[in-house]
Structure 1
Amino acid sequence: ALAFVGQIGESYWNAEFHRAKGDMLLASGADTVEIERCYQAALETARQQGAKSLELRAAVSLARLWQTQGNAEAAHSLLAGIYDWFSEGFDTPDLEEAGALLDALRHNA
């Protein structure tokens, strides 16, 4: 999918493709190192593009992975830094999900 996107010049969604690949690997029970690599690629791509919404989605996915690995403190730190950038839209699904995860991580940290 990433090769196809590169061919047609729609690179904005590359971050989301990396994240979706990580989600598919997670669902299939793949190695968490590869899953984390996908989420990190999504995060870095979104940051390079200045795509804060896609950065938030990637951070939520990576934070959830870290939470399952017992690393709630790092997950909270990552997600809070991005979530705090937003000043509106807190009723959108992405920000609601991020806020709920932050609350859960506060209790686990």
Structure 2
Amino acid sequence: HRLRGQFLTALPDGGRPGEASAAFQSAIQIARRQSAKSWELRAATSLSRLWRDEGKHADACNLLVPVYAWFTEGFETSDLKEAKAMLDSLR
């Protein structure tokens, strides 16, 4: 679902943000049901990026902060670095 969302955002002429948002939200829900925090972080970062680009900075931040805050180690991994950079761009 996350990859589908990324594909939809990369389409020409602005992509299909509504469908991309739904795909990212599906990915987040599946990751939560599976307690897959790394996959949830990736999907939340992708959705936050989309929302940031749409001017929904508060929504993007509110989504990503609790997922990022769950982690207590591994901050040198690419996923956590990307999430941190996204949070920095939202503040």
- Alignment match of 1:27 (pick from 4, 10, 13): 10
For residue 5 of structure 1, what is the aligned residue in structure 2? none
In the superposition, the TM-score normalised over structure 2's length comes to: 0.95
Of 40, 44, 51 in structure 2, the residue corresponding to residue 66 of structure 1 is: 51
Report the CA distance between 1:72 and its aligned residue. Answer: 0.5
- Same amino acid, percent of matched pairs: 49
CA–CA separation in structure 2 for the residues paired with 1:97 and 1:35:
19
* Structure-1 separation of matches of 2:55 and 2:9: 16
Instruction: State the distance in 1 between where 2:17 and 2:77 align.
Output: 29
Structure of higher RCO (CA pairs closer than 8 Å, 6+ residues apart): 2
Paired residues, number: 89
TM-score w.r.t. the length of structure 1 is: 0.79
Moved over 6 A (4+): none
1:52 matched residue in structure 2 = 37
Structure 1 residues not aligned, in runs of 5+: 1-17
Alignment counterpart, residue 70 of structure 2, candidates 56, 68, 85: 85
Task: Give the aligned CA root-mean-square deviation in angstroms.
Answer: 0.7
Gap regions ≥5 residues in structure 2: none
